[in-house]
Amino acid sequence: MRRLLILVAMLLLVLFASVSCQGYGKPAPAPAPSPAPTAAGSSVTISNFAFSPASITVPAGTKVTWTNKDSPTHTVSAKDGTFDSGNLSTGATFSYTFSQKGTFEYGCKLHPSMSGKVIVE
């Protein structure tokens, strides 16, 4: 009887090992490549009298959206006059689509110490 129990236990171990090792030795599937930047969009937060992130890089055709999460009113105003949000109260958003390559510096007209940059590639 003891031999039979040992034999059954060994058979179960072999069976378990063969089931758990299925696929062993096969190469793991390659990880999915990181998606390339798209023109879907990007966002900037206005908080604590700062743009965050202060500098972003996006592909041409990207819509960037700024959201004012600060208590005071702010603006998003390009230094070259390309875009201007006007006054943004708390919770307000402003979006601009960057269709041309270049570096676009901007700031808040109401708080000159605030500045940011969008780099369009």
Domain regions of the chain by residue span: 42-120
Specify whether the CB–CB gap between 44 and 50 falls below 8 A. Answer: no
Give 19-53 pLDDT, tens digit per residue: 444 444 555 555 444 334 444 579 999 999 999 99
Structure tokens at 87: 């006054």
Strand duo 42-47 + 62-68: pairing: parallel
As a whole number, mean pLDDT of residues 55-81 equals 97
Percent of the chain predicted with pLDDT > 90: 66
Neighbour-count burial of 85, counting CB atoms closer than 10 A to its CB (0-12 exposed, 13-18 middle, 19+ buried): buried
- Read off the pLDDT band of 17 (50, 70, 90): low
* pLDDT at residue number 20: 46
* pLDDT at residue number 91: 98
* pLDDT at residue number 87: 98
Per DSSP, the three-state class of 37 is: coil
Homologous superfamily, domain 42-120: Cupredoxins -  blue copper proteins (2.60.40.420)
Rg, Å, the chain Cα set: 29
Report which DSSP code applies to 3: H
The residues facing 57 across adjacent strands are 119
As a whole number, mean pLDDT of residues 92-115 equals 98
Q: pTM score, two decimals?
A: 0.68
